[in-house]
Chains A and B, each alone.
Chain A
Amino acid sequence: MMDETQLIAAAQSGDRLAFDELVRLTYLDVFTLAVRLTGNDEDARDVVQDAYLRAWKAIGGFRGDAQLSTWLYRITANCASTHLSRRRRHRTEPLLPGLDPTELRHEVQPEAMTESMLELQRIAAALDELPPKLRSVVVLRDVYGLAHEAIAEELGISVSAAKVRLHRARKQLRDEMFEERRSERAV
């Protein structure tokens, strides 16, 4: 069985089955990022498909100076950004009016969870509330650890704009997380 480096080399020489194996190895990670960026599973599926098609076309140019996962995150971020801006131009009604698709992912009963799992869910829910422009930056920086320069490049914005968006996003998340808790205690 080939390791990741061997699979990359094989894919670079045109072996599609090797690339398929790389897709299998990274799919869950890339799909999760796409959901975090788009806010719903349906858009995420389209973004992931686009991202892997672009990755397959560009794999020959992957030099290995970054990790494969980081390279894929950047492609996914770029695809999500394109997808979301296209979506804003052709805005459509949600498939199920009145039902927030993010609710579908948070079905577990709160009392069955540990404190840290609960906090994780609160953060995920707060992220879903952010406007897409702010959410993209905070997800790429604070969840996936991309550099400001890489984020700016993939989202087509300046580095300073990326930093401003990151600070705004963190502030909004902080308000959402801690102000809410304070008001819960007051009740």
Chain B
Amino acid sequence: MRYEDVADLLPGLADGTLEIEDRTRAFIESDLRCQAELARYRRLIRGLGTLRAAYLEPAPGSLAQTLNSLAVEGERRVARSILTGRRIAVAAAALGGAAIAGVATAAVMTARTRRRVLAG
């Protein structure tokens, strides 16, 4: 086995997430070039981990802009729910009106039919 055969495995091995055969592992552990490369990758990964706390300052006003866009979205949502509520109310009123009209028509028809029966 040579360094070139295992070089591509080293980036994945550096943080211990890559599973490899025992034979390959034994070679990597005994090969100085592999060990030096692994040390470089580990140093790199450690360095990348520290970047998380290296905050970058946004331009002034960025936070306010984001909060403002949330406020606009919130107002839109309220307006949508009011509109939806109104639509439901209008639909309910229309249905109620139709039902009342239906009942009234049926009552008139029944009364007329009774009058005809009595007259006959």
Whether the Cβ atoms of B47 and A120 lie closer than 8 Å is yes
A52 to B64 Cα, complex, angstroms = 13
| Residues on the B chain within 8 Å of A41, using CB | 56, 58-59
B20 to chain A, nearest CB (A): 13
A168 to B44 Cα, complex, angstroms = 13
Whether the Cβ atoms of B62 and A177 lie closer than 8 Å is no
Partner of B45 from A20, A31, A44, A170 at Cβ < 8 Å: A170
From B65-73, B89-97, B98-106, the one touching the partner chain is B65-73
From B8-16, B22-30, B107-115, the one touching the partner chain is B8-16
A178 to B67 Cα, complex, angstroms = 42
| Residues on the B chain within 8 Å of A124, using CB | 51, 54
A77 to chain B, nearest CB (A): 14
A79 to chain B, nearest CB (A): 12
- Convert A124-168 into 0s and 1s, putting 1 for each residue whose CB lies closer than 8 angstroms to a CB of B: 100100000000001000111100100000000000000100111
| Residues on the B chain within 8 Å of A144, using CB | 52
Whether the Cβ atoms of B8 and A123 lie closer than 8 Å is no
A166 to B70 Cα, complex, angstroms = 34
Q: Mostly helix, strand, loop or mixed at chain A's interface? A: helix
A53 to B70 Cα, complex, angstroms = 6
Number of residues of chain A lying within 8 A (CB) of chain B: 44
| Residues on the B chain within 8 Å of A178, using CB | 40
| Residues on the A chain within 8 Å of B8, using CB | 167, 171
| Residues on the B chain within 8 Å of A27, using CB | 58, 62-63, 66
Whether the Cβ atoms of A36 and B51 lie closer than 8 Å is yes
A166 to chain B, nearest CB (A): 7
Whether the Cβ atoms of A32 and B55 lie closer than 8 Å is yes
A178 to B51 Cα, complex, angstroms = 18
Whether the Cβ atoms of B62 and A20 lie closer than 8 Å is no
Interface assignment of B48: CB less than 8 Å from any CB of chain A: yes
Knowing A28-B55, A28-B58, A45-B58 are in contact, say whether A23-B45 is a contact too (CB < 8 A): no
Interface assignment of B49: CB less than 8 Å from any CB of chain A: yes
A124 to B119 Cα, complex, angstroms = 101
A159 to B86 Cα, complex, angstroms = 48
- Convert A10-46 into 0s and 1s, putting 1 for each residue whose CB lies closer than 8 angstroms to a CB of B: 0000001001100110011101100110000100110
A36 to B48 Cα, complex, angstroms = 11
Interface residues of B (CB under 8 A from A): 8, 11-12, 14-15, 17, 37, 40-41, 44-45, 47-52, 54-59, 62-63, 65-67, 69-71, 73-74
Known: A56-B73, A174-B11. 12 other contacts (CB 8 A): A16-B74, A20-B70, A24-B63, A27-B58, A29-B55, A35-B56, A48-B66, A116-B50, A120-B54, A145-B49, A166-B11, A167-B8
